[in-house]
Amino acid sequence: MGEIPVIKAALLGAGTVGGGVFEILSRQREEMPRKLGAYVEITKVLVRNKGKERPGMDSSLFTEDWKEILADREIQIVIELMGGIEPAKTYILEALRSGRHVVTANKDLLADYGRELLDTAQEHGCDLMFEAAVAGGIPIIRPLKQCLAANHITEVMGIVNGTTNYILTRMTEDRMEFSEALALASKLGYAEADPTADVEGYDAGRKVAIMASIAFNSRVTFGDVFTEGITKITAADIAYADELNMVIKLLGVAKNAGDGIEAGVYPMLIPREHPLASVQDAFNAVFIHGDAVDDAMFLGRGAGRFPTGSAAAGDIFEVVRNIRAGSTGKIGCTCYKNLRVKPADEASHRYFLRLQVEDRPGVLAGIASVFGNNNVSIAQVIQKNKHGEFAELAVITEQVLERHFKDSLLVLGEMSMIKEISTILRVYA
């Protein structure tokens, strides 16, 4: 065997994921010649503060100057793990325009600027890989782009945010209220210092946009995805779900409905026997339906230093193999269709509604007639928990247009016989 070639790479960011990737590559070094026919070596690391101690990383690698990396012609791969839109976007575009291949985990960037980045990569014959951007360590981008490429995919959905799944699991298993479960998620390092993107569904919405674009071969951006978070879910809702033999999960759902794409993130009731109901704690799971493969589900850790690092390191290996084979840039943007993304009002769902109503004859009939007048068909009504002159009603509808359901709510909200609409949830059908 002759001398083993060395492919040089730069890491932008040495935080949770960047540090994980660095360590995984170190662990893999010995096997690289047999796996890749080359070594991949990180020769520069961009950080904000190069004086900070980073165990396992030699301080001579650090720079605070992107231009130094850009000017180093020996660097063939740029691994962007800083996060955020700028300066990450500029750095990635500059890297691609200078012929460097890019690996990133940056979902915020891809969900808004995926087309521009992928088009730039294609223009310059470069790889742009982003397996780590969706569902951490779970392989989902490459399966969609490659293994499942011979399908017409009609649905991609799942639990794609670990923080909220952890919170909902604690609320379900330990009967915690939302605030208590969030505090625990923060203590364990699942939730970010600012957990807004997680609990409001924005993080999941970005992942849905990326998955839907690839699954349906048509661009979906974050702005196209309806998002509703879990901050209003109470212990009472969880208890109700339990009585119905269901659980509440924050689901990202994208469907190619024939007349357009539906894409949203919602807390949903799902039956306990559904495979997603048993996905606990910070785990993620993605479920796909295609015309050839039928149903397929992927499960694993959706975040963290090594799971996310695993996905990014796998991408780096793939780029190295492509460089060695002279086949970089072979899979660019796969959004060759231009499908309409439906506004949320045109999507249809089953709904669960919990209301506090006056306990007297005619109330149920009054509510039923409002739904009937607005084309909302009722599937189930449960009455329980009398509190003085008020009773609690739970209504589950058939699959109805969101617009029709909202029209009903406007009327119900004005009726004096209804004291309060406590909860509105979608039901996974």
Which residues does the annotation mark as catalytic? Answer: 207
Among 80, 127, 155, 203, binds ligand HSE (CB under 6 A): 203
Residue 292's Cβ-count burial label (10 Å; 0-12, 13-18, 19+) is: exposed
Among 106, 161, 165, 423, binds ligand NAP (CB under 6 A): 106
Residue 359's Cβ-count burial label (10 Å; 0-12, 13-18, 19+) is: middle
Q: Is 60 in the site for ligand NAP (CB under 6 A)?
A: no
Rounded to whole angstroms, how far apart are CA atoms 228 and 267?
A: 7
CB of 368 to ligand HSE, least distance (A): 41
SS3 of 365-376: the string is: HHHHHHHHHCCC
Report whether 134 contacts 207 (CB < 8 A): yes
Considering only residues 66 through 85, tell me which ones interact with ligand NAP, judged by CB under 6 A. 81-83
- Output 290 or 307, the one with its CB closest to ligand NAP: 307
Rounded to whole angstroms, how far apart are CA atoms 72 and 215?
A: 37
Rounded to whole angstroms, how far apart are CA atoms 277 and 72?
A: 49
Among 1, 3, 34, 49, binds ligand NAP (CB under 6 A): 49
The CA–CA distances, whole Å, from 422 to 227, 284, 419 equal 20, 29, 9
CB of 333 to ligand HSE, least distance (A): 22
CB of 351 to ligand NAP, least distance (A): 32
CB of 102 to ligand NAP, least distance (A): 13
Cβ count near 31 (within 10 Å): 9
Contacts with ligand HSE, 156-185, as mask; x by CB under 6 A: -----xxx----------------------
Q: Is 302 in the site for ligand HSE (CB under 6 A)?
A: yes
Q: Is 204 in the site for ligand NAP (CB under 6 A)?
A: no
CA 157, chain centre distance (Å): 9
CA 338, chain centre distance (Å): 22
User: In the numeric block, which tokens belong to residue 409?
Assistant: 């709510």
Of the candidates 186, 114, 75, 146, the one whose C-alpha atom is nearest the C-alpha of residue 293 is 146
Q: Residue 255: what are its φ and ψ, rounded to 5°?
A: -125, 140
User: In the numeric block, which tokens belong to residue 278?
Assistant: 């048993």
393 binds, options ligand NAP, ligand HSE, none, Cβ within 5 to 8 A by partner type: none
DSSP lists the bridge partners of residue 299 as: 285
User: In the numeric block, which tokens belong to residue 263?
Assistant: 């894409």
161 binds, options ligand NAP, ligand HSE, none, Cβ within 5 to 8 A by partner type: ligand HSE
Among 9, 42, 47, 254, binds ligand NAP (CB under 6 A): 47
Q: Is 87 in the site for ligand NAP (CB under 6 A)?
A: yes
- Output 25 or 160, the one with its CB closest to ligand HSE: 160
- Output 198 or 224, the one with its CB closest to ligand HSE: 198
CB of 108 to ligand NAP, least distance (A): 6
46 binds, options ligand NAP, ligand HSE, none, Cβ within 5 to 8 A by partner type: ligand NAP
Helix (H) or strand (E) holding 250: strand 246-256
Q: Is 13 in the site for ligand NAP (CB under 6 A)?
A: yes
Give the residues lining the site for ligand HSE (CB under 6 A): 161-163, 190, 198, 203, 302-303
Give the residues lining the site for ligand NAP (CB under 6 A): 13-18, 46-49, 52, 81-83, 87, 105-107, 132, 136, 303-304, 308
